[in-house]
Amino acid sequence: MEVLEGGRIVDEDAVIARVRAGEPEAYAELVRAFTGVALRAARALGAGADVEDVVQQSFFKAYCNLGRFKDGSAFRPWLLKIVANETRNTVRSAGRQRSVLGREAAMVEAEPLIPESADPAAAAIEIERRAELLDAVERLSEEHRLVVTYRYLLEMDEAETAQALGWPRGTVKSRLNRALRKLGELLPRAAQGAASVPAQRSRKGGDEHGRATR
């Protein structure tokens, strides 16, 4: 399976076959290709200052378990499942809670930066909305945080999310729906803003219709 990761095309199946055939140095191609997304995942899941150690340990565990990797499967969700487990173990052993700042760093990397030419007022609103979203995500249950992080922060599709989390696809869909509903409850201003758009358009249409009939 060929995928584009880190700006390069990687033939995962070919690389894994080379490693299994006794060419361990080929594994470096997978490390280079997937380090970026592994770091984003570890940060988003709360690894904090241990993010690099978590990712290094995850790649090491993935290498040691390549014999159990199913041929033809996608490497990224399989790796990110290991990253999630390693992050969870690290956070629990350190007795820390997930960090909103860490999640913010992950979101900044995952989303386009606000251009310098952007209107300062609009940029300030965007930053405020992002902070509100991060705070709301932080208040979700663990399973809801996970599914939102993988689907939207790491931009994984439904099948990849299911593989990474070890859940059936139906579970991913139902938990994502519940998570989004909960986010809607936690973000009243965002919901009100979205609701006001149709109303504003309706009023605008009515004004135009009134002007047309006068």
Which residues 6+ apart lie within 8 Å of 203 measured at CB? none
Q: What is the pLDDT along the chain (214 residues), one digit of tens a residue?
A: 556 555 566 789 999 999 999 999 999 999 999 999 999 898 888 888 889 999 999 999 999 999 999 888 899 999 999 998 998 888 776 554 444 445 555 555 544 444 444 555 565 555 567 677 777 887 888 899 889 888 887 888 999 999 988 899 999 999 999 999 998 888 865 444 433 334 444 444 445 444 444 4
Query: Does residue 91 sit in the same domain as residue 36?
Result: yes
pLDDT the model gives residue 45: 84
Query: Does residue 69 sit in the same domain as residue 162?
Result: no
Task: Return d(Cα 154, Cα 37) in angstroms, integer.
Answer: 7
Task: Return d(Cα 37, Cα 74) in angstroms, integer.
Answer: 14
Residue pointed to by tokens 């309706």: 202
* Tally of helices (H runs) and strands (E runs) in the chain: 10, 2
- Of 103, 135, 152, the residue that ends a domain is 103
Q: Domain range holding 26?
A: 1-103
- Of 72, 103, 134, the residue that ends a domain is 103
pLDDT the model gives residue 202: 44
Query: Does residue 66 sit in the same domain as residue 153?
Result: no
